[in-house]
Amino acid sequence: MTNTTEKLKHLREKVADPDFQQSRGLSNEVSYYILAFAPQDQPLVTEEIHSMEQQLNRETIGMDIVEFNLYNIMWELLDDMGIREDVIAMEASDGIDYLTEQLNNALEMTSSDNLFVQYMQRHLPKDPVIVFVTGIGEIFPLIRAHKVLNTMHQIVNSVPVVFFYPGTYDSLSLSMLGESKEDNYYRAFQIN
């Protein structure tokens, strides 16, 4: 397996490629990619994402990278509902399993039109070139990545989407932080 630095270098090369930007060569597959990385490399990944967004934006080479940070979106949605403090108190009083169940209900995660999808739809620019999805490790185990992956394609289907995943992906299943297996997700390509 390649290391995180090599994967990020490969991603930077792919992102600059017009074929990647226009999802050419995928034989009608959705252009979803997962860059799995060692959890301890999160600071490196965060720094490189910021660097790519700064260097490859519209002013430099005509890019428009849109980042959706799931952790930040979750808190914004909870603030909009007025339940942030309740959520914080719920973890202390009822435990993580109960909190996870209640959050998934509040955010409508069993719906194909869950609140994350609705948020992204409202905030997606008219002509994005590439979408980065971050914050996946920060919301674990409250929200599972496959629940977002399985519903996002209905609103983002014509541009590449890159999920930055602190764990492993073997082109069939996701394993968060190298420990917890998620449900299978096999439609994304690996960034190696």
* 88 inside domain: yes
* 91 inside domain: yes
* 21 inside domain: no
What per-residue confidence (pLDDT) applies to 65? 86
Least confident of 52-66, 74-88, 166-180: 52-66
**Main-chain phi, psi angles of 91, to 5 degrees:** -60, -45
Instruction: Strands of 129-172 (E only): list them.
Output: 130-134, 161-169
Q: How many domains does the chain have?
A: 1
* 187: nearest Cα among 153, 164, 155: 153
Instruction: Assess whether pLDDT exceeds 50 at residue 34.
Output: yes
* 171 inside domain: yes
**What average pLDDT does range 78-107 have in this prediction?**
93
* 23 inside domain: no
Report how many helices (DSSP H) and strands (DSSP E) the chain contains, helices first.
10, 7
Instruction: Assess whether pLDDT exceeds 90 at residue 40.
Output: yes
Range of the domain at 166: 4-16+30-190
What per-residue confidence (pLDDT) applies to 1? 44
Q: What is the C-alpha to C-alpha distance for residues 115 and 107, in angstroms, rounded to an integer?
A: 5
* 24 inside domain: no
